[in-house]
Structure 1
Amino acid sequence: MMRSSDQQVLRKATPVEQGNPADDQRMFRRCLSQYGTGVAIVTTADGASRFAVTVNSFSSLSLDPPLLLWSIDRKSRSFDAFSSCEHFAVNILSSEQIELSRHFSSKITDKFADVDWAPGRFGSPLLSGCIARFECSAEARHDGGDHMILIGRVQQLERFEGMPLIFSQGQYSIPLEHPDAPGEPAAIAAEQPNTLANNVLQMIFNAHHALSEAFDEHRRAEGVSIAVARVLATVHGHPGIKVDAVAGQTYLGQRDAEDAVAELAQKSLLVHSVDGGLRLTPSGAALRESIGERWLAFQNAQLESIPPADISVLMRTLKRLIEQTTQERTATEAVSGE
């Protein structure tokens, strides 16, 4: 039973947006994005041909028999393959596989050419580095509006150590222990060596997400979401960038990046050039500048109590990490392109 105090909170809460989803599909998507999910790549094969789609519609269905389900957009280029396949595999991505998620969400013709994979027991490609893999026989298919729902009977599975990749509110993230969760206090865990909280790179991720969440009230004051703010900043920094490249620059899913671009265009904050490139309008540039000023003030407030010497060390460390990672990535791309 709901307590009276809970009822008061519910009545006082003001929704960011509301309405009939049939009138605004993008609003429907944004509301659905409040429910965080994992990220999976579903694969299948038909002779020498291989197919794959990146999904976050994956869900367990039954333990006895072992069933799972997911759905595919009827407009997907791989729809015909999955609507008739006898087997498929679900590859659950780890927190280190954002690039793989983006790769299989792209419009690349042969998505398996530069990816480490091996055929599974029934021929469906199994991707390396995943934290779980399910090989399934197609148990049933059901109509799901503009999607088709596929139910698979799990015939073989594998589980590996690792942290799952999460997609929520239009961005990739990682799971973190809630401070109010029962169990070992976070402060104690942080003092132990080799724990998640004591991992330098993990702490960088944690700081990024914490600061982004804290800055969200400033974005809302400007009338933009995280996704829209990221696209705004990316187009400002890369005038002429194409829509397909925006998702990679912003670490958003392709669909969320396209939705953010459409929203900015609808508000006359962004325009498409003749060559397909994106550029901010004067109003868009002014909004970007206003958000930038808010961010600068927010940053100064957050760093006010930290000694300048500590900030200097942090900046040098982060700069080296960025340079090192960029060099390694450039070298890898050069080798793969030979």
Structure 2
Amino acid sequence: MMRSSDQQVLRQAVPVERGNPADDLRMFRRCLSQYGTGVAIVTTSNGTSRFAVTVNSFSSLSLDPPLLLWSIDRKSRSFEAFSSCEHFAVNILSAEQIELSRHFSSKVIDKFADVDWVPGRFGSPLLSGCIARFECSAEARHDGGDHMILIGRVQQLERFDGMPLIFSQGQYSIPLEHPDAPGEPAAMAAEKPNALANNVLQMIFNAHHALSDAFEEHRRAEGVSIGVARVLATVHGHPGIKADSVAAQTYLGQRDVEDAVAELEGKSLLLHTEDGGMRLTPSGVALREAIGERWIAFQNAQLESIPSADISVLMRTLKRLIEQTVQERTATAAVSGG
């Protein structure tokens, strides 16, 4: 039975948007994105060619027999291959594999050219660095509207240590321990390798999400969502930027970038250049500057009680961490390209 306090909470809740999904597919997609999922790359091979798609529609189905399912867009270039394959592999991405997710979501012709992989038991590519891999035989296929649902019988699996990559509300993230969840004893945490480093990175993500959530009322006051605000800021800072680059810089999914761009265009805040780039209109620039002013005031208020010396140490530490990470990624890319 619902308590009176629960009923009061429900009465106070005001939806950000409401409607029939048939009338607004973008709204439907935004609402679905409230449910966080993992990210997987499904692969297959016909003996001469390899195929892959990035999905977040993966789900377990049955333990006995061991079945899983996922779905593929009928407009996908790999649809024909997966609609007739006898086997496929599901590669579950780790938190370090955002770029791999983007790579397999791109329009690159040979997606396996610069990727570390090995053929699986049935020939489907198994990607390195994943936290789990499932090799499946195609058990059944079902109609799912503009998608086809594939059910796979797991023939072999592998599980690795690591943190999963999460996709929720249009952006990549990592799973964080809920503050209300019972924590493990300190002695057990101390025994874990790299416990200190893991806690530091977790605190950085906690701070990022907490501040972003706290700033949400300011974004709403300007009539934008977090995704639209990120795209707005990126195009403002890089006039002429292309959509693919926007996705990389904002850590948003490609579809979410497309939705944000469509919304900004519809409000005459953004326009496309002749070479396919994007720039803000005067109204778009004004909106971005208004959000920027709100952010500065918000930041000053948040840091007001923290000593300036502590802020300086934090800034130096974060700057060093960013520079180190960029250098390592650049070096890795150079080796792969060579």
Alignment TM-score > 0.5, same fold: yes
SS in 1 for 2:88: strand
Amino acid paired to 2:313 = V
**Aligned: 1:260 with 2:250:** no
SS in 2 for 1:247: helix
SS in 2 for 1:28: helix
Q: Does the 8 Å contact 2:176/2:202 carry over to 1?
A: no
**Aligned: 1:279 with 2:279:** yes
Counting only pairs closer than 5 Å after superposition, residues 190-205 of structure 1 correspond to structure 2 as 194-195=194-195, 199-205=199-205
CA RMSD in angstroms, aligned pairs only: 1.8
Moved more, 195-204 or 115-124: 195-204
Q: Does the 8 Å contact 1:92/1:131 carry over to 2?
A: yes
Is the alpha carbon distance of 1:312 and 1:243 closer, same or farther for their aligned partners in structure 2, counting shifts above 3 Å? same
Relative to the length of structure 2, the TM-score reads 0.95
Aligned-pair identity (%): 88
SS in 2 for 1:21: coil
Name the structure 1 match of 2:65. Answer: 65
Q: Does the 8 Å contact 1:87/1:135 carry over to 2?
A: yes
Relative to the length of structure 1, the TM-score reads 0.95
2: CA distance, partners of 1:189 / 1:299: 36
Displacement of 1:57 in angstroms is: 0.4
Q: How many residues were matched structurally?
A: 337
SS in 2 for 1:199: helix
Name the structure 2 match of 1:157. Answer: 157
2: CA distance, partners of 1:131 / 1:336: 22
Name the structure 2 match of 1:138. Answer: 138
SS in 1 for 2:305: coil
Counting only pairs closer than 5 Å after superposition, residues 215-294 of structure 1 correspond to structure 2 as 215-294=215-294
2: CA distance, partners of 1:106 / 1:127: 17
Counting only pairs closer than 5 Å after superposition, residues 1-338 of structure 1 correspond to structure 2 as 1-184=1-184, 194-195=194-195, 199-338=199-338
Write the deviation string for residues 244-301 of structure 1: whole angstroms up to 9, x where unpaired. Answer: 2211111111111111111111111100111111000111111111111111111111
Write the deviation string for residues 72-98 of structure 1: whole angstroms up to 9, x where unpaired. Answer: 001111111101100000011111111
Amino acid paired to 2:266 = Q
- In structure 2, runs of 5+ residues without a counterpart are none
Amino acid paired to 1:233 = A
SS in 2 for 1:295: helix
Displacement of 1:7 in angstroms is: 1.6
Amino acid paired to 1:93 = L
Moved more, 227-236 or 192-201: 192-201
Displacement of 1:183 in angstroms is: 4.7
Q: Does the 8 Å contact 1:192/1:198 carry over to 2?
A: no
- In structure 1, runs of 5+ residues without a counterpart are none
Write the deviation string for residues 73-124 of structure 1: whole angstroms up to 9, x where unpaired. Answer: 0111111110110000001111111111111111111111111110110110
Write the deviation string for residues 37-71 of structure 1: whole angstroms up to 9, x where unpaired. Answer: 11111011111211111110000000111100000
Displacement of 1:34 in angstroms is: 0.5
SS in 1 for 2:215: helix
SS in 1 for 2:22: helix
Displacement of 1:191 in angstroms is: 8.1
Displacement of 1:188 in angstroms is: 9.0
2: CA distance, partners of 1:183 / 1:334: 41
Q: Does the 8 Å contact 1:42/1:52 carry over to 2?
A: yes
Q: Does the 8 Å contact 1:239/1:280 carry over to 2?
A: yes
